[in-house]
Amino acid sequence: MEIVRKNSLEEINNTIPVPSGKESFIKKLFAFSGPGALVAVGYMDPGNWITSIQGGALYGYLLLSVILISSLIAMLLQMMCAKLGIVTGMDLAQATKTLVGRKTAFILWITTELAIIATEIAEVIGSAIALNLLFQIPLLLGVIITALDVFLLLALIKFGIRKIEALAFILTVTIFIIFAYEVALANPDLLLIMRSFLPKYDILNAHVEGGDSAFFIALGVVGATVMPHNLYLHSSIVQSRQYNRNDWYALKEAIRYATIDSNIQLSFSFIINCLLLGLGATLFFGKNPDDIGRFAQLYEALKDHNMVGTIASSTLATLFAVALLASGQNATITGTLTGQVVMEGFVNFKLPLWQRRIITRMIAILPVLACIYLWGHNGDVVEKLLVYTQVFLSIALPVSMIPLLYLTSSKKTMGIFVNCKLFIILGWLATVLLIILNIQLIFETLYTSSRHI
């Protein structure tokens, strides 16, 4: 069966010039840099915040090794995504459709769209809570205000993909600086931090009374790290560069620089997640678990001298809320682009980006508004919805990971750029591990929720 396809994100495909010939490494890297920044956004959204900070608050630096392993797996998968897009000229949605056919592709499209909406819900919640903390805007009004970011995105698109990439990088650096500053003031034990990057058996059995187990939080860290939509997005936006599609050396060079770009940006997100966990550990470890679970409690704790001592100030609390708002807005930018990628790739249907943005955001807002309507301005309920969005993303993860590994390990698809044996083994081990852990996360979440009903 012949599949008719178009260029992925046709409006930006093959539009960004890159140096040719013997230009310097730095100039070439700069030209290829950008897609990694958009991808890294998904690794530091409000869902990651909750799991990382709670992990540090309840178990100190114990789970740093989980963040490290998850980030290394993410780097491997994103490298495969970039290679798939560059070599085949297809994004992951298009390539998957050629593999499974139209009917199955439609089912996969629905699943992926739901995953994008789940991600949008997390961004809505994070942004609304940040607005509440910064300006005392009620959650209901804050949720409605988040719908206005569609106009921000439309304005950015007019300036081109490079401006969007630059904004994503600036917001990421902003988040990094804020948390590096706050953690530095907390004066953490650097030697203990370095030792904690080695996995420990305690992760499997540690439990704090009144809080989730270390294993449960570790599952949350893993489940919230590799986002399904990132795999589709990366395989598409790497094709925005003007490398020679018919020259194997140019393809090899494009893969090299795309991988370096991705690894640099994911290293930023890795450090940020470590800083989040470190902030939770240095400020809240050993405290009452009931006092550390929510964004609002964390915000208030930063202003509470009795809890965090000399580093507490309204400035630190404000910086925390600003970083949360930046995180929500940052991840919002990529949702629309990913939605267009999967819609065109799976079902060959295209909407103007502004229509796509409005529809996705309106659908994402509805469950949040329903929670507020039914339970009032209860932060616990709203943030619990955020946790459930991460669980759904875990369910959707295999839909993108398994085709990615299969396609990039196929010599028929990739030719000389097929995954080496080491990457094939590591990729499938990581995939199986993540699937098992995510299934366990689902059961743990359902069990934990049932105990509190």
Tell me if 2 is assigned to some domain. Answer: no
Greater model confidence, 120 or 241: 241
CATH number at residue 309: 1.10.4160.10
Tell me if 357 is assigned to some domain. Answer: yes
Tell me if 250 is assigned to some domain. Answer: yes
What is the arithmetic mean of pLDDT over 180-203? 84
pLDDT band of 223, cuts 50, 70, 90? low
Burial class (CB in 10 A: 0-12, 13-18, 19+), 374: exposed
Mind listing the pLDDT tens digit for each residue in 264-316?
Answer: 999 988 998 898 888 888 877 877 666 565 677 777 777 765 555 555 557 77
Mind listing the pLDDT tens digit for each residue in 26-71?
Answer: 999 999 999 998 888 878 777 777 778 888 888 889 999 989 988 8
DSSP state letter for 419 = P
The pLDDT of residue 3: 46
Reply yes or no on whether the pLDDT at 96 is more than 90: yes
Tell me if 393 is assigned to some domain. Answer: yes
CA–CA distances in Å: residue 447 to residues 121, 203, 450, 453? 23, 19, 5, 10
Instruction: Count structural domains, the chain.
Output: 1
The range of the structural domain enclosing residue 264 comes to 25-451
Residues above pLDDT 70, as percent of the chain: 84
Mind listing the pLDDT tens digit for each residue in 302-341?
Answer: 776 555 555 555 777 788 788 888 777 766 667 778 888 8
Tell me if 121 is assigned to some domain. Answer: yes
The pLDDT of residue 1: 39
Residues above pLDDT 90, as percent of the chain: 26
Greater model confidence, 350 or 101: 101
Tell me if 16 is assigned to some domain. Answer: no
Tell me if 11 is assigned to some domain. Answer: no
Question: What SS3 state is found at 409?
Answer: coil
What is the arithmetic mean of pLDDT over 435-446? 72
**Closest Cα to residue 284, out of 411, 216, 198, 182?**
182
Tell me if 371 is assigned to some domain. Answer: yes
